[in-house]
Structure 1
Amino acid sequence: MKKLVPVLALLLSACSSPSLQGIFAMPGDAAVDAAVADAAAEIADLEPAAVDPTPPPPPTARTVDQFDTTTAEDRAEALSASQDVGERALGSTIASLGSPTDPGIWLKTPLVGEVIQGRVQYPDNGKSINIELRPSGGVVGAGSQISLAAMRLLEAPLTGLPELLVFAN
């Protein structure tokens, strides 16, 4: 019992701590409402993350056409790839088909450390597309994953492991 008294005293003294005051606040409390409003304003001021506007495939998708939800405009933009003067070669990679439920035109590769825009070329047929380059977190040489839409635009075999040349814009 003697050991319990100091512990209880310590716990009760913590109740007056400013960090615990919110636990006991009542709804409609002006201080709580002001804190919530301030937090909401800070969140609204944050720069929005890059969001891929391509919708995910429907849960009932079964065919390649159903999984590829890119628009004709997205495909036309990707196909307008041309070699830029400021473009730099990042290297080559062997790519496998990424998750068909992950929409968009992208390549997850260890050749980049952050999301950037770039271009990939499929040397077997000379096709080249503009693409979003996403970091895979792997080590260079570990291979890459490419979106279903990108594989289709490159006319690469969906079940193959194409070697791609990767460029950063």
Structure 2
Amino acid sequence: MTRLSPLRLATAAPLLLVLAACADTEHGTAARTQAPLAEAPAPATAAPAPRPGAIVGGAGTQAAAYDVATPEQRAAATAPATGGRELGRATVSLGNPAEQGFWLRTPLVSTETPGRVVAANGQSVNVTLIPATGTGGRLSLSAFQALGLPLTSLPSVQVFTR
């Protein structure tokens, strides 16, 4: 019988451990030996229903928890508005959720100005237009949710001044 050199033995040892672990499987899937986990007790107060497009973040946090706009701010942002000058269309993504308020960072403006964004679904929201470089835009979490847009989407919106 051939004797293995220490280098070959060191190389083969991890492979042997893997093979040994495979011996404890059933049809290539590890056998389950643990009892199923008990369901966690329901919280004393029910969490608010997530808004459309809500995502689950770290530790089960709903996106709605990060949207801290007051009812007054939400009412002002979703109040009907018409007129203004159309600046163009922009493909937007979710902006920094830590930056609160109703805003759109876009290269369509050179100075901060009041504006309005209209989504393809017909929903509109009043926002502050903030100058940005590049293409497209970043839309605030509150504005995304007011428009009923999925947070992971890249929607095209019409941008207007007010």
TM-score by length of 1: 0.59
Q: What residue is the counterpart of 2:91 in the other structure?
A: 94
What per-residue deviation string (whole Å, max 9, x for no partner) do you get for residues 114-160 of structure 1? Answer: 1100100002x10011111001122xxx1100000000000011000
Q: What residue is the counterpart of 2:32 in the other structure?
A: none
Distance 1:81 1:99 in 2: 26
Stretches (4+) displaced over 4 A: none
One of 108, 115, 131 as aligned partner of 1:118: 115
Q: Determine whether 1:130 maps to 2:129.
A: no
What per-residue deviation string (whole Å, max 9, x for no partner) do you get for residues 75-96 of structure 1? Answer: 0001113212xx1000000000
Any stretches of 5+ residues in structure 2 without a counterpart? Answer: 1-58
1:61 Cα deviation from its structure 2 partner? 9.9
Distance 2:81 2:68 in 1: 24
Distance 2:139 2:61 in 1: 19
Percent identity between the two aligned chains: 40
Distance 2:60 2:98 in 1: 9
Q: Greater helix percent: which structure?
A: 1
Task: Name the SS of the counterpart of 1:155 in structure 2.
Answer: coil
Q: What residue is the counterpart of 1:150 in the other structure?
A: 143
One of 99, 102, 107 as aligned partner of 1:105: 102
Q: What residue is the counterpart of 2:79 in the other structure?
A: 80
What per-residue deviation string (whole Å, max 9, x for no partner) do you get for residues 52-75 of structure 1? Answer: xxxxxxxx9942122101100000
Aligned amino acid, residue 110 of structure 1? P
CA 121–62 in structure 1, closer or farther in 2 if over 3 Å, else same: same
Q: How does 1:66-77 map to 2 (within 5 A)?
A: 66-77=65-76
Q: What residue is the counterpart of 1:8 in the other structure?
A: none
Coordinate RMSD, CA, aligned = 1.5
Distance 1:131 1:61 in 2: 29
Number of residue-to-residue matches in the alignment: 104
8 Å Cα contact 1:98-1:148 kept in structure 2: yes
